[in-house]
Amino acid sequence: MSTALVILAAGKGTRMNSEMPKVLHQIANAPMLIHAMQSGAPLSPARTVIVAGHGFDDVKAAVEAHDPDASVVLQAEQKGTAHAVDAARAALADFDGDVIVLFGDTPFVQPETLERMVAARGENAVVVLGFDATDPGKYGRLVMHGDQLESIVEYADATDEQRTITFCNSGVMLADCKTLYALIDEIEANNAQDEYYLTDIVGIARARGLSVSAVACDEAETLGINSRLHLAQAEAVFQTRARIELMEMGVTLQQPETVMLSFDTVIGRDTVIEPNVYFGPGVTVESGAHIRAFSHLEGCHVSRGGVVGPYARLRPGTELAEDVRIGNFVEIKNAVLDEGAKVNHLTYIGDASIGAETNIGAGTITCNYDGVMKHKTTIGRNAFIGSNTMLVAPVTIGDKAMTASGSVITTNVPDDALALARAKQVNKPGLASKMFELLKLKKKKRDKGVE
Ligand code: UD1
Ligand code: MG
Protein backbone atom coordinates (compact mmCIF):
# COMPACT_ATOMS: atom_id res chain seq x y z
CA MET A 1 0.00 0.00 0.00
CA SER A 2 1.43 3.39 -0.87
CA THR A 3 1.47 6.20 1.63
CA ALA A 4 1.14 9.96 1.33
CA LEU A 5 2.27 12.46 3.93
CA VAL A 6 0.22 15.54 4.69
CA ILE A 7 2.03 17.94 6.97
CA LEU A 8 0.05 20.78 8.54
CA ALA A 9 2.07 23.95 8.73
CA ALA A 10 -0.28 26.86 8.12
CA GLY A 11 -0.47 28.21 11.68
CA LYS A 12 1.12 31.52 12.60
CA GLY A 13 2.74 30.46 15.83
CA THR A 14 1.91 33.67 17.66
CA ARG A 15 3.82 32.63 20.77
CA MET A 16 7.09 32.48 18.84
CA ASN A 17 6.87 36.29 18.65
CA SER A 18 8.54 36.25 15.27
CA GLU A 19 8.36 37.67 11.74
CA MET A 20 9.16 34.20 10.48
CA PRO A 21 6.54 31.43 10.22
CA LYS A 22 6.89 29.05 13.16
CA VAL A 23 7.73 25.94 11.14
CA LEU A 24 10.81 27.62 9.66
CA HIS A 25 12.48 28.13 13.02
CA GLN A 26 15.43 25.81 13.14
CA ILE A 27 16.45 22.83 15.20
CA ALA A 28 20.02 21.67 14.60
CA ASN A 29 20.24 24.06 11.66
CA ALA A 30 17.22 22.75 9.76
CA PRO A 31 13.68 24.16 9.85
CA MET A 32 11.48 22.16 12.23
CA LEU A 33 9.24 21.40 9.24
CA ILE A 34 12.12 19.58 7.56
CA HIS A 35 12.52 17.43 10.69
CA ALA A 36 8.82 16.52 10.41
CA MET A 37 9.35 15.64 6.74
CA GLN A 38 12.35 13.51 7.73
CA SER A 39 10.24 11.52 10.24
CA GLY A 40 8.00 10.41 7.39
CA ALA A 41 10.78 9.95 4.82
CA PRO A 42 11.67 6.32 5.79
CA LEU A 43 8.12 5.30 4.78
CA SER A 44 9.10 6.34 1.23
CA PRO A 45 5.91 8.36 0.78
CA ALA A 46 4.50 8.35 -2.75
CA ARG A 47 3.51 11.98 -2.16
CA THR A 48 4.27 14.68 0.34
CA VAL A 49 1.89 17.59 0.67
CA ILE A 50 2.67 20.51 2.95
CA VAL A 51 -0.27 22.71 3.96
CA ALA A 52 1.05 26.25 4.40
CA GLY A 53 -0.62 29.57 5.15
CA HIS A 54 1.33 32.11 7.18
CA GLY A 55 4.59 32.88 5.34
CA PHE A 56 3.48 30.70 2.43
CA ASP A 57 6.24 31.76 0.01
CA ASP A 58 9.02 31.22 2.52
CA VAL A 59 7.64 27.86 3.57
CA LYS A 60 7.32 26.81 -0.06
CA ALA A 61 10.92 27.83 -0.78
CA ALA A 62 12.23 25.89 2.23
CA VAL A 63 10.27 22.78 1.31
CA GLU A 64 11.35 22.87 -2.33
CA ALA A 65 14.99 23.31 -1.36
CA HIS A 66 14.74 20.16 0.72
CA ASP A 67 12.52 18.04 -1.52
CA PRO A 68 11.62 19.33 -4.99
CA ASP A 69 8.98 16.59 -5.33
CA ALA A 70 6.94 17.75 -2.35
CA SER A 71 3.92 19.93 -3.07
CA VAL A 72 2.98 22.93 -1.00
CA VAL A 73 -0.70 23.89 -0.91
CA LEU A 74 -2.26 27.04 0.43
CA GLN A 75 -4.70 27.20 3.33
CA ALA A 76 -5.45 30.90 3.17
CA GLU A 77 -7.50 31.01 6.35
CA GLN A 78 -6.86 28.71 9.28
CA LYS A 79 -10.18 27.19 10.20
CA GLY A 80 -8.91 24.11 11.99
CA THR A 81 -6.96 20.92 11.42
CA ALA A 82 -9.70 19.24 9.31
CA HIS A 83 -9.95 22.36 7.16
CA ALA A 84 -6.16 22.17 6.74
CA VAL A 85 -6.23 18.53 5.62
CA ASP A 86 -9.03 19.50 3.27
CA ALA A 87 -6.66 21.98 1.60
CA ALA A 88 -4.60 18.97 0.47
CA ARG A 89 -7.62 17.26 -1.11
CA ALA A 90 -6.94 18.38 -4.70
CA ALA A 91 -3.28 17.39 -4.45
CA LEU A 92 -4.40 13.88 -3.46
CA ALA A 93 -7.41 13.65 -5.80
CA ASP A 94 -6.02 10.73 -7.80
CA PHE A 95 -4.17 9.15 -4.89
CA ASP A 96 -5.06 5.66 -3.85
CA GLY A 97 -3.51 4.65 -0.55
CA ASP A 98 -3.06 5.69 3.06
CA VAL A 99 -2.53 9.23 4.27
CA ILE A 100 -0.48 10.08 7.33
CA VAL A 101 -1.18 13.49 8.83
CA LEU A 102 1.71 15.08 10.70
CA PHE A 103 2.14 18.52 12.26
CA GLY A 104 4.98 20.71 11.07
CA ASP A 105 5.63 21.92 14.60
CA THR A 106 6.02 18.41 16.03
CA PRO A 107 9.43 17.38 14.76
CA PHE A 108 10.37 14.32 16.81
CA VAL A 109 7.92 11.61 15.80
CA GLN A 110 10.11 8.57 15.18
CA PRO A 111 9.90 6.72 11.85
CA GLU A 112 9.47 3.43 13.78
CA THR A 113 6.37 4.88 15.43
CA LEU A 114 4.85 5.68 12.03
CA GLU A 115 5.75 2.17 10.90
CA ARG A 116 3.84 0.78 13.91
CA MET A 117 0.84 2.87 12.86
CA VAL A 118 1.05 1.51 9.32
CA ALA A 119 1.23 -2.02 10.75
CA ALA A 120 -1.86 -1.31 12.91
CA ARG A 121 -3.95 -0.10 9.98
CA GLY A 122 -5.13 -3.54 8.84
CA GLU A 123 -8.88 -3.62 9.44
CA ASN A 124 -8.89 -0.20 11.10
CA ALA A 125 -10.22 2.67 9.03
CA VAL A 126 -8.31 5.20 11.12
CA VAL A 127 -5.25 4.88 13.38
CA VAL A 128 -4.45 7.66 15.85
CA LEU A 129 -1.15 8.21 17.62
CA GLY A 130 -1.62 8.79 21.35
CA PHE A 131 0.67 9.16 24.32
CA ASP A 132 0.37 9.00 28.08
CA ALA A 133 0.82 12.59 29.20
CA THR A 134 2.53 13.42 32.49
CA ASP A 135 0.63 16.69 32.36
CA PRO A 136 -2.32 16.27 29.93
CA GLY A 137 -2.94 20.05 29.98
CA LYS A 138 -4.97 21.12 26.95
CA TYR A 139 -4.33 18.15 24.71
CA GLY A 140 -7.25 16.38 23.09
CA ARG A 141 -8.25 13.31 25.11
CA LEU A 142 -8.55 9.82 23.62
CA VAL A 143 -11.75 8.12 24.76
CA MET A 144 -11.09 4.37 24.54
CA HIS A 145 -13.51 1.49 24.77
CA GLY A 146 -11.56 -1.74 24.91
CA ASP A 147 -9.18 -1.61 21.97
CA GLN A 148 -11.44 0.75 20.05
CA LEU A 149 -10.89 4.48 20.04
CA GLU A 150 -14.41 5.87 20.38
CA SER A 151 -13.72 9.57 20.02
CA ILE A 152 -11.27 12.39 20.59
CA VAL A 153 -12.51 15.27 22.72
CA GLU A 154 -10.73 18.55 22.60
CA TYR A 155 -9.93 19.98 26.02
CA ALA A 156 -12.19 22.99 25.44
CA ASP A 157 -15.14 20.71 24.76
CA ALA A 158 -14.38 17.99 27.34
CA THR A 159 -16.40 17.23 30.45
CA ASP A 160 -14.63 17.23 33.83
CA GLU A 161 -14.62 13.47 33.74
CA GLN A 162 -13.09 13.35 30.25
CA ARG A 163 -10.46 15.81 31.39
CA THR A 164 -9.15 13.23 33.88
CA ILE A 165 -8.10 11.00 30.94
CA THR A 166 -4.29 11.07 30.52
CA PHE A 167 -4.12 9.25 27.17
CA CYS A 168 -3.80 12.18 24.77
CA ASN A 169 -3.87 12.94 21.06
CA SER A 170 -0.49 13.63 19.44
CA GLY A 171 -2.21 14.90 16.29
CA VAL A 172 -0.71 12.20 14.07
CA MET A 173 -3.34 10.20 12.19
CA LEU A 174 -3.41 7.55 9.54
CA ALA A 175 -6.37 6.69 7.31
CA ASP A 176 -7.15 5.50 3.83
CA CYS A 177 -7.26 8.58 1.58
CA LYS A 178 -10.79 8.14 0.23
CA THR A 179 -12.19 7.30 3.68
CA LEU A 180 -10.37 10.25 5.21
CA TYR A 181 -11.97 12.77 2.86
CA ALA A 182 -15.37 11.13 3.11
CA LEU A 183 -15.18 11.51 6.90
CA ILE A 184 -13.91 15.10 6.65
CA ASP A 185 -16.97 15.95 4.53
CA GLU A 186 -19.15 15.24 7.56
CA ILE A 187 -17.24 17.42 10.01
CA GLU A 188 -18.97 20.53 11.30
CA ALA A 189 -17.53 23.42 13.20
CA ASN A 190 -19.99 23.40 16.07
CA ASN A 191 -17.58 23.36 19.00
CA ALA A 192 -16.00 25.66 21.57
CA GLN A 193 -13.47 27.03 19.06
CA ASP A 194 -15.68 27.21 15.94
CA GLU A 195 -13.07 25.17 14.10
CA TYR A 196 -13.17 22.13 11.85
CA TYR A 197 -11.50 19.56 14.06
CA LEU A 198 -9.71 16.70 12.32
CA THR A 199 -10.14 14.78 15.56
CA ASP A 200 -13.88 14.56 14.81
CA ILE A 201 -13.25 11.92 12.13
CA VAL A 202 -12.87 9.36 14.92
CA GLY A 203 -16.40 9.73 16.30
CA ILE A 204 -17.82 9.91 12.77
CA ALA A 205 -15.99 6.73 11.73
CA ARG A 206 -17.26 4.89 14.83
CA ALA A 207 -20.82 6.06 14.15
CA ARG A 208 -20.48 4.50 10.69
CA GLY A 209 -19.41 1.24 12.33
CA LEU A 210 -15.80 1.58 11.21
CA SER A 211 -12.98 0.39 13.41
CA VAL A 212 -10.53 2.94 14.88
CA SER A 213 -7.45 2.12 16.93
CA ALA A 214 -4.84 4.09 18.85
CA VAL A 215 -1.12 3.40 18.87
CA ALA A 216 0.87 4.75 21.81
CA CYS A 217 4.27 6.38 21.64
CA ASP A 218 6.68 7.98 24.05
CA GLU A 219 5.64 11.45 25.15
CA ALA A 220 9.01 12.87 24.04
CA GLU A 221 8.13 12.16 20.40
CA THR A 222 5.05 14.35 20.54
CA LEU A 223 6.85 17.44 21.80
CA GLY A 224 5.23 20.34 19.97
CA ILE A 225 6.92 23.71 19.61
CA ASN A 226 4.95 26.85 20.38
CA SER A 227 7.50 29.24 21.88
CA ARG A 228 11.18 30.07 21.89
CA LEU A 229 11.46 28.15 25.14
CA HIS A 230 10.02 25.04 23.47
CA LEU A 231 12.42 25.60 20.58
CA ALA A 232 15.39 25.62 22.93
CA GLN A 233 14.07 22.51 24.67
CA ALA A 234 13.63 20.80 21.31
CA GLU A 235 17.19 21.73 20.37
CA ALA A 236 18.40 20.12 23.60
CA VAL A 237 16.37 16.98 22.91
CA PHE A 238 17.81 16.74 19.40
CA GLN A 239 21.39 17.34 20.55
CA THR A 240 21.20 14.76 23.33
CA ARG A 241 19.82 12.16 20.98
CA ALA A 242 22.33 12.92 18.20
CA ARG A 243 25.30 12.80 20.59
CA ILE A 244 24.20 9.43 21.95
CA GLU A 245 23.79 8.09 18.41
CA LEU A 246 27.31 9.21 17.51
CA MET A 247 28.81 7.60 20.60
CA GLU A 248 26.95 4.38 19.86
CA MET A 249 28.48 4.50 16.39
CA GLY A 250 31.97 4.60 17.86
CA VAL A 251 32.74 8.30 18.00
CA THR A 252 34.42 9.62 21.17
CA LEU A 253 32.89 12.81 22.53
CA GLN A 254 35.06 13.85 25.45
CA GLN A 255 32.44 16.23 26.83
CA PRO A 256 29.29 15.46 24.85
CA GLU A 257 27.11 18.24 26.27
CA THR A 258 29.47 20.88 24.83
CA VAL A 259 29.43 19.57 21.25
CA MET A 260 26.79 21.04 18.91
CA LEU A 261 25.69 18.95 15.96
CA SER A 262 23.56 19.65 12.90
CA PHE A 263 20.73 17.58 11.50
CA ASP A 264 23.09 16.15 8.85
CA THR A 265 26.40 15.82 10.70
CA VAL A 266 28.24 12.62 9.79
CA ILE A 267 31.24 11.46 11.83
CA GLY A 268 33.14 8.21 11.35
CA ARG A 269 34.15 5.59 13.86
CA ASP A 270 37.10 6.19 16.18
CA THR A 271 37.13 9.89 15.54
CA VAL A 272 37.70 11.91 18.70
CA ILE A 273 35.82 15.16 19.30
CA GLU A 274 37.24 17.34 22.04
CA PRO A 275 35.02 19.73 24.07
CA ASN A 276 33.27 22.79 22.62
CA VAL A 277 33.20 21.91 18.96
CA TYR A 278 30.45 23.29 16.67
CA PHE A 279 29.27 21.37 13.63
CA GLY A 280 27.25 23.56 11.27
CA PRO A 281 25.32 22.05 8.37
CA GLY A 282 26.99 19.86 5.78
CA VAL A 283 29.93 18.45 7.71
CA THR A 284 31.34 14.98 7.17
CA VAL A 285 34.30 13.69 9.13
CA GLU A 286 35.78 10.32 8.27
CA SER A 287 37.03 7.68 10.69
CA GLY A 288 40.08 8.17 12.83
CA ALA A 289 40.16 11.94 12.70
CA HIS A 290 40.64 14.25 15.65
CA ILE A 291 38.71 17.49 16.04
CA ARG A 292 40.29 19.49 18.82
CA ALA A 293 38.61 21.87 21.24
CA PHE A 294 36.82 25.09 20.22
CA SER A 295 36.75 24.38 16.51
CA HIS A 296 33.92 25.58 14.25
CA LEU A 297 33.13 23.53 11.14
CA GLU A 298 30.50 23.96 8.44
CA GLY A 299 30.06 22.65 4.90
CA CYS A 300 33.36 20.79 4.96
CA HIS A 301 34.88 17.34 4.72
CA VAL A 302 37.69 16.01 6.93
CA SER A 303 39.28 12.76 5.80
CA ARG A 304 40.74 9.91 7.78
CA GLY A 305 43.61 10.84 10.07
CA GLY A 306 42.94 14.58 9.86
CA VAL A 307 43.66 16.75 12.88
CA VAL A 308 41.77 20.03 13.18
CA GLY A 309 42.19 22.69 15.86
CA PRO A 310 42.18 23.65 18.62
CA TYR A 311 40.45 26.92 17.62
CA ALA A 312 40.19 26.18 13.91
CA ARG A 313 37.46 27.38 11.58
CA LEU A 314 36.57 25.32 8.52
CA ARG A 315 34.09 27.13 6.29
CA PRO A 316 31.99 25.84 3.38
CA GLY A 317 33.87 24.25 0.52
CA THR A 318 36.78 23.04 2.65
CA GLU A 319 37.96 19.59 1.60
CA LEU A 320 40.76 18.04 3.62
CA ALA A 321 42.37 14.88 2.25
CA GLU A 322 43.84 12.21 4.55
CA ASP A 323 46.22 13.23 7.31
CA VAL A 324 45.88 16.96 6.78
CA ARG A 325 46.67 19.06 9.84
CA ILE A 326 44.95 22.33 10.60
CA GLY A 327 46.16 24.09 13.72
CA ASN A 328 45.07 26.91 15.97
CA PHE A 329 43.55 30.14 14.68
CA VAL A 330 43.43 28.94 11.11
CA GLU A 331 40.48 29.76 8.86
CA ILE A 332 39.90 27.82 5.66
CA LYS A 333 37.22 28.52 3.06
CA ASN A 334 36.50 26.94 -0.32
CA ALA A 335 39.84 25.19 -0.49
CA VAL A 336 41.09 21.71 -1.23
CA LEU A 337 44.09 20.47 0.73
CA ASP A 338 45.78 17.31 -0.48
CA GLU A 339 47.17 14.51 1.64
CA GLY A 340 49.43 15.44 4.49
CA ALA A 341 49.30 19.20 3.94
CA LYS A 342 49.89 21.25 7.10
CA VAL A 343 48.51 24.65 8.04
CA ASN A 344 49.37 24.88 11.68
CA HIS A 345 49.08 28.45 12.91
CA LEU A 346 47.31 31.79 12.45
CA THR A 347 46.46 31.56 8.77
CA TYR A 348 43.71 32.32 6.25
CA ILE A 349 43.35 30.06 3.25
CA GLY A 350 40.48 31.01 0.94
CA ASP A 351 39.67 29.95 -2.64
CA ALA A 352 42.78 27.79 -2.88
CA SER A 353 44.15 24.41 -3.68
CA ILE A 354 47.15 23.11 -1.80
CA GLY A 355 49.19 20.10 -2.89
CA ALA A 356 50.18 17.07 -0.86
CA GLU A 357 52.69 17.46 1.97
CA THR A 358 52.91 21.21 1.51
CA ASN A 359 53.61 23.23 4.64
CA ILE A 360 52.01 26.61 5.13
CA GLY A 361 53.91 28.77 7.63
CA ALA A 362 52.38 30.76 10.46
CA GLY A 363 50.54 33.92 9.52
CA THR A 364 50.12 33.13 5.85
CA ILE A 365 47.23 34.88 4.12
CA THR A 366 45.73 34.15 0.73
CA CYS A 367 44.67 37.63 -0.36
CA ASN A 368 41.74 36.26 -2.34
CA TYR A 369 39.52 39.33 -2.51
CA ASP A 370 40.35 42.53 -4.37
CA GLY A 371 37.29 44.34 -3.08
CA VAL A 372 35.20 43.31 -6.07
CA MET A 373 36.14 39.79 -7.14
CA LYS A 374 37.49 36.61 -5.58
CA HIS A 375 40.63 35.01 -6.99
CA LYS A 376 42.27 31.64 -6.66
CA THR A 377 45.59 30.62 -5.13
CA THR A 378 47.13 27.38 -6.36
CA ILE A 379 50.02 25.84 -4.46
CA GLY A 380 51.75 22.66 -5.65
CA ARG A 381 52.90 19.69 -3.64
CA ASN A 382 55.82 19.61 -1.20
CA ALA A 383 55.99 23.37 -1.24
CA PHE A 384 57.06 25.49 1.70
CA ILE A 385 55.30 28.78 2.32
CA GLY A 386 57.38 30.86 4.74
CA SER A 387 55.74 32.49 7.74
CA ASN A 388 53.80 35.65 7.11
CA THR A 389 53.62 35.23 3.35
CA MET A 390 50.90 37.24 1.59
CA LEU A 391 49.76 35.34 -1.47
CA VAL A 392 48.06 37.94 -3.65
CA ALA A 393 45.65 35.97 -5.82
CA PRO A 394 45.35 34.97 -8.59
CA VAL A 395 48.72 33.34 -8.07
CA THR A 396 50.32 29.93 -8.53
CA ILE A 397 53.16 28.48 -6.49
CA GLY A 398 54.88 25.47 -8.08
CA ASP A 399 55.72 22.05 -6.65
CA LYS A 400 58.60 22.06 -4.17
CA ALA A 401 58.76 25.85 -4.35
CA MET A 402 59.54 28.05 -1.34
CA THR A 403 58.56 31.54 -0.33
CA ALA A 404 60.71 33.53 2.09
CA SER A 405 58.99 34.66 5.30
CA GLY A 406 57.37 38.02 5.07
CA SER A 407 57.08 37.89 1.31
CA VAL A 408 54.28 39.52 -0.60
CA ILE A 409 53.88 37.20 -3.56
CA THR A 410 52.20 38.86 -6.52
CA THR A 411 53.52 36.79 -9.43
CA ASN A 412 53.67 33.05 -10.02
CA VAL A 413 56.54 31.06 -8.51
CA PRO A 414 57.87 28.23 -10.71
CA ASP A 415 58.48 24.68 -9.45
CA ASP A 416 61.49 24.38 -7.19
CA ALA A 417 62.09 28.16 -7.03
CA LEU A 418 62.65 30.26 -3.91
CA ALA A 419 60.68 33.49 -4.02
CA LEU A 420 61.97 36.43 -1.98
CA ALA A 421 59.63 39.38 -2.03
CA ARG A 422 60.46 41.66 0.87
CA ALA A 423 62.64 44.71 1.56
CA LYS A 424 66.30 44.01 2.04
CA GLN A 425 67.56 44.24 5.65
CA VAL A 426 70.09 46.94 6.66
CA ASN A 427 72.13 46.73 9.93
CA LYS A 428 73.55 49.95 11.49
CA PRO A 429 76.30 49.03 14.01
CA GLY A 430 76.05 50.75 17.43
CA LEU A 431 72.94 52.65 16.52
CA ALA A 432 70.69 50.80 18.99
CA SER A 433 72.12 52.37 22.19
CA LYS A 434 72.20 55.80 20.53
CA MET A 435 68.58 55.37 19.65
CA PHE A 436 67.73 54.48 23.26
CA GLU A 437 69.51 57.58 24.60
CA LEU A 438 67.69 59.75 22.13
CA LEU A 439 64.31 58.32 23.08
CA LYS A 440 64.96 58.66 26.84
CA LEU A 441 65.88 62.30 26.34
CA LYS A 442 62.71 62.88 24.34
CA LYS A 443 60.58 61.29 27.11
CA LYS A 444 62.23 63.46 29.84
CA LYS A 445 61.46 66.65 27.88
CA ARG A 446 57.86 65.60 27.33
CA ASP A 447 57.33 64.70 31.03
CA LYS A 448 58.69 68.11 32.11
CA GLY A 449 56.37 69.80 29.67
CA VAL A 450 53.40 68.16 31.37
CA GLU A 451 54.42 69.41 34.89
C1 UD1 B 1 -4.31 19.58 18.08
C2 UD1 B 1 -5.37 18.49 18.26
C3 UD1 B 1 -5.34 17.99 19.69
C4 UD1 B 1 -3.95 17.46 20.03
C5 UD1 B 1 -2.92 18.55 19.77
C6 UD1 B 1 -1.54 17.97 19.90
C7 UD1 B 1 -7.22 19.06 16.76
C8 UD1 B 1 -8.57 19.65 16.65
N9 UD1 B 1 -6.67 19.06 17.96
O10 UD1 B 1 -4.70 20.67 18.89
O11 UD1 B 1 -6.30 16.94 19.87
O12 UD1 B 1 -3.90 17.02 21.35
O13 UD1 B 1 -3.04 19.07 18.42
O14 UD1 B 1 -0.60 18.99 19.82
O15 UD1 B 1 -6.69 18.60 15.77
N16 UD1 B 1 -2.98 23.93 11.51
C17 UD1 B 1 -3.13 24.34 10.21
N18 UD1 B 1 -4.29 24.94 9.85
C19 UD1 B 1 -5.30 25.15 10.72
C20 UD1 B 1 -5.13 24.72 12.05
C21 UD1 B 1 -3.96 24.12 12.42
O22 UD1 B 1 -2.24 24.16 9.40
O23 UD1 B 1 -6.32 25.69 10.29
C24 UD1 B 1 -1.72 23.30 11.92
C25 UD1 B 1 -0.93 24.14 12.91
O26 UD1 B 1 -0.05 24.99 12.24
C27 UD1 B 1 -0.21 23.07 13.71
C28 UD1 B 1 -1.18 21.90 13.69
O29 UD1 B 1 -2.02 22.09 12.58
O30 UD1 B 1 0.97 22.66 13.10
C31 UD1 B 1 -1.99 21.73 14.96
O32 UD1 B 1 -2.78 22.86 15.17
P33 UD1 B 1 -2.95 23.49 16.60
O34 UD1 B 1 -3.75 24.71 16.48
O35 UD1 B 1 -1.66 23.56 17.29
O36 UD1 B 1 -3.86 22.35 17.28
P37 UD1 B 1 -4.02 22.12 18.83
O38 UD1 B 1 -5.03 23.07 19.33
O39 UD1 B 1 -2.72 22.09 19.47
MG1 MG C 1 -0.74 22.76 19.06
Q: What is the DSSP string of 152-206?
A: EE-GGG--HHHHT--EEEEEEEEEEHHHHHHHHHT----STT----TTHHHHHHH
Q: Which atom of ligand 1 is nearest to the CA of 22?
A: 26
The per-residue pLDDT for range 364-391, each reduced to its tens digit, is: 999 999 999 999 999 999 999 999 999 9
Domain extent for 299: 249-419
Do residue 21 and residue 167 come from a single domain? Answer: yes
Name which residue sits closest to atom 22 of ligand 1, judged by CA. Answer: 10
Residue 435 within any structural domain of the chain:
no
Measure 324 CA to ligand 2 centroid, in angstroms: 49
- pTM value surpassing 0.85: yes
Q: What is the CATH number of the domain that holds 359?
A: 2.160.10.10
Q: How many CA atoms lie within 13 A of 249 on its CB side?
A: 16
Residue 120 within any structural domain of the chain:
yes
The per-residue pLDDT for range 183-237, each reduced to its tens digit, is: 999 999 999 999 999 999 999 999 999 999 999 999 999 999 999 999 999 999 9
Do residue 167 and residue 261 come from a single domain? Answer: no
Residue 47 within any structural domain of the chain:
yes
Do residue 213 and residue 266 come from a single domain? Answer: no
Smallest Cα–Cα separation from 144: which of 209, 191, 206?
206
Which residues surround ligand 1 with Cβ inside 6 Å? 8-11, 51, 75, 78-81, 83-84, 103-105, 139-140, 152, 154, 168-171, 197-199, 224
- Known catalytic residues are 345
Do residue 89 and residue 133 come from a single domain? Answer: yes
Residue 241 within any structural domain of the chain:
no
Do residue 263 and residue 215 come from a single domain? Answer: no
**262/278 Cα distance (integer angstroms):** 9
Do residue 256 and residue 205 come from a single domain? Answer: no
Do residue 157 and residue 87 come from a single domain? Answer: yes
Report the SS3 class of residue 60. helix
* Pairing assessment for the beta strands 98-103 and 167-176 based on DSSP bridges: antiparallel
- Tell whether the model's pLDDT for residue 406 goes beyond 80: yes
- Tell whether the model's pLDDT for residue 416 goes beyond 70: yes
Measure 251 CA to ligand 2 centroid, in angstroms: 36
Rounded to 5 degrees, what are φ and ψ at 246? -60, -45
- Res 451: pLDDT: 57
**312/328 Cα distance (integer angstroms):** 5
The per-residue pLDDT for range 121-175, each reduced to its tens digit, is: 999 999 999 999 999 999 999 999 999 999 999 999 999 999 999 999 999 999 9
- Res 387: pLDDT: 98
Do residue 134 and residue 268 come from a single domain? Answer: no
Do residue 183 and residue 284 come from a single domain? Answer: no
- Res 449: pLDDT: 84
DSSP per residue, 217-261: E-GGGG----SHHHHHHHHHHHHHHHHHHHHHTT-EESSGGG-B-
| Number of domains the chain is built from | 2
Do residue 42 and residue 110 come from a single domain? Answer: yes
| Ligand with the closest atom to the CA of 79 | 1
Those residues whose C-beta lies under 8 Å from the C-beta of residue 443, and which sit 6 or more positions away, are none
Tell me the mean pLDDT in the region 28-52.
Answer: 97
Q: How far is CA 10 from the centre of its chain?
A: 22
Tell me the mean pLDDT in the region 277-296.
Answer: 98
Q: Provide the mean pLDDT of the chain.
A: 97
Q: What is the CATH number of the domain that holds 188?
A: 3.90.550.10
Residue 443 within any structural domain of the chain:
no
Q: Decide: 131 and 221 in contact? Cβ < 8 Å.
A: yes
| Ligand with the closest atom to the CA of 80 | 1
Do residue 67 and residue 154 come from a single domain? Answer: yes
Q: Which atom of ligand 1 is nearest to the CA of 78?
A: 23
